[in-house]
Structure 1
Amino acid sequence: MRMETLLMPFQFGFMQNAFWISMIVSVPTALLSCFLVLKGWALMGDAISHAVLPGIVLAYILGFPLILGAFAAGMVTALATGYLSENSRVKQDTVMGVVFSGMFGLGLVIYVSIHTNIHLDHILFGNMLGVGLQDLWTAGLISVFVAAALLLKWKDLMLHAFDPVQARASGLPVGLLHYGLLTILSLTIVATLSATGLILAVGLLIAPGAIAFLLVRSFGKMLAVSVMVCMLSMLGGTYLSFFLDSAPAPTIILILTAIFLFAFVRRMFKVRRASATV
């Protein structure tokens, strides 16, 4: 290809905004994915990302900004899941399944009951090529807050993820860390609404941390690697989607899946080689 062809995606305003939202969203989702992977909260991201649907529909009916409804529904889901799992004998994954399916079902019932010509496909699947200046500012402000909170408290959150009992014995505010992480998760999902949508947001909240977990053994390096992998995947997926004539969001998820499989195979061969030399 000629250089002019290779640089063609950067000549369009909608592609420039897609690249910007990719860089903005990649940082908080990658950082958060490390904590979700370590804490075993991968399904929590999936649950909240789907359960914000009733909040979005109600916000549309009441004329409120959609992101406010999404955040409110996300917080209800997160708090309800955390409270039920801590105050019942039911395991957390079971509670997440019940709350998630209930909220998602409620959102679908409300949506089909209203008469409107507006489709919420861009909320479910994302619309990176339709990102505007307001979306960039919203995602940017949320991303800065989430990234700063995670980086400032990463050691406390890491101890809480590894050993909550030891964290409580050390005097850390375990309850505040628990529900604070749930709040950050809800905010991050709101930031990704315009980029990957609800359904594919879970990929950004799991894959970068899982890939970094397979590649490095230090948590500090894990944070750095996850951000690098997520940002390169989002920029690369957005770039390739222009030439493949595909949607950016699923292209990004496919790239992250391919990198995860590569990291898994690499780790598997490394373990076998180490065991063979023993």
Structure 2
Amino acid sequence: MSLADFWSKVFVFDRYGELLELLSQSIIAGAVLGLIGGVVGLFVMLRRHAFAVHAIAEMSFAGAALFLLLGYNVVTGSLIGSIFSALIIALMGAKVHENDSIIGALMPFGLGLGILFLSLYSGRSANKFSLLTGQIVAVDSAQLTSMVVGGAVIITALALMWRPLMFASLDPVVAQAKGLPLRLLSVAFMVVLGIATALSVQVVGSLLVLALLITPAASALQVTASPLRALILSVLFAEVAMVGGILLALAGSLPISPYVTTLSFLIFVMCRGIRAVRQRYSASGRKRSEPGLEK
């Protein structure tokens, strides 16, 4: 494939205005998922649950594949798989090493089940592919409504437990000493994470959900230590990656996931660069201020 052929697949702006109007629901869905991913992702990073997101996504994929095979609603299957795996991780992984063991067992199990169900499915191959890499053009009014409702549930739940969950995430030892119900908070958050993962899988696919639920928050934490500023930046980065990825995907013939993941990664690299520059200037400033170094 020549370079011209490659770019013709990545960016094709013919009838772009018509596509924007036709797929306006998909853009709104992307904005909703950006908000969800930015907020949930911050707690994922603070609680060190990045590994868990991958396991939940694999089980979400397995649930969606099973329901696709049986002819039921794929979104429902994805949601059941996500919440089921999230509860297993929360209830059985009381300690860090136990948590990692359970997650490590769930990931290949979920992926294997998903591959099994898809291999038995005799329908359209596009349906199989979309479970893995996402399909933004498939968002209809019913899916958009479910995303908005799910997003409202997630944001409301996190708002209600914001202070104790933030305390437990930043300093679990002191939080336990203060009498906070750490197990209950963990279960509640994992259910929220399961719902967020199931909603995200519909658009970006199970293999690339990390770009929405991890990378934006990880980027934000590179440039600020303030939870509030990190939350704002995480949502902003997630919106840029999701909405920007959708707008770019409408101009090409590729799935949405490469655009979203590329934008998300570029933002992370930029934030890492900002952090490196700050650390360099901070180190040079400390050296100049040390006694005996000034001439």
Work out whether the TM-score is over 0.5.
yes
2:258 is aligned with 1:250: yes
Cα offset, 1:14, TM superposition: 3.8
1:11 offset after TM fit, Å?
Answer: 3.2
Contact 1:14 1:130 in 2 (8 A): no
Partner residue, 1:208: 216
Task: Work out which of the two has the higher radius of gyration on C-alpha atoms and give 1 or 2.
Answer: 2
Alignment pair present for 1:93 and 2:107? no
Between 264-273 and 74-83, the greater mean CA deviation after superposition: 74-83
Aligned to 1:197: 205
- Residues 168-195 of structure 1 deviation map (CA, whole Å, 9 limit, x = unaligned): 2223221221011110111111212331
**Aligned residue for 1:43?**
51
Output the TM-score relative to the length of structure 1. Answer: 0.90
The equivalent of 1:161 in structure 2 is: 169
1:48 positional shift? 0.5
Distance 1:32 1:189 in 2: 10
- Give the residue type in structure 2 aligned to 1:95: I
One-letter identity of the residue aligned with 1:173: P
3-state secondary structure, aligned to 1:120: helix
Alignment-derived partner of residue 259 in structure 1: 267
Pick the aligned partner of 1:30 from 33, 38, 41.
38
Shift of 1:6: 8.5
* Moved beyond 6 Å, runs of 4+: none
Normalising by structure 2, report the TM-score.
0.85
Question: CA–CA distance in 2 between the matches of 1:70 and 1:42?
Answer: 19
Q: Tell me which amino acid in the other structure corresponds to 1:93.
A: D
Rounded Cα–Cα distance in structure 2 between residues aligned with 1:86 and 1:172: 15
The 2-side partners of 1:242 and 1:111 are apart by 27
1:14–1:131 CA contact under 8 A, matched in 2: no
Q: Give the whole-Å Cα distance in 1 for the aligned partners of 2:148 and 2:40.
A: 16
Cα RMSD (Å): 2.2
- Distance, in Å, in 1 between the alignment partners of 2:253 and 2:113 is 34
The 5 Å alignment of 1:161-180 reads 161-180=169-188
Residue 155 of structure 2 corresponds to residue 147 of structure 1:
yes
**Structure 1 residue 115: Cα displacement:** 4.1
**Residue of structure 2 equivalent to 1:227:** 235
- 1:107-137 Cα offsets, whole Å, 9 max, x none, are 2223323544453211211111221111110
Q: Which runs of 5+ in 2 are unaligned?
A: 1-11, 287-295
Structure 1 residue 187 and structure 2 residue 195: aligned? yes
CA contact (8 A) 1:127 1:195 kept: yes
**Mapping 1:1-150, distance limit 5 Å:** 9-12=16-19, 13-86=21-94, 90-117=97-124, 119-150=127-158
Paired residues of 1:128 and 1:249 also in contact (CA < 8 A): no
**Alignment counterpart, residue 236 of structure 1, candidates 224, 235, 244:** 244
Report the Cα distance in structure 2 between the residues aligned to 1:252 and 1:212, rounded to whole angstroms. Answer: 17
Q: Secondary structure at the match of 2:201?
A: coil
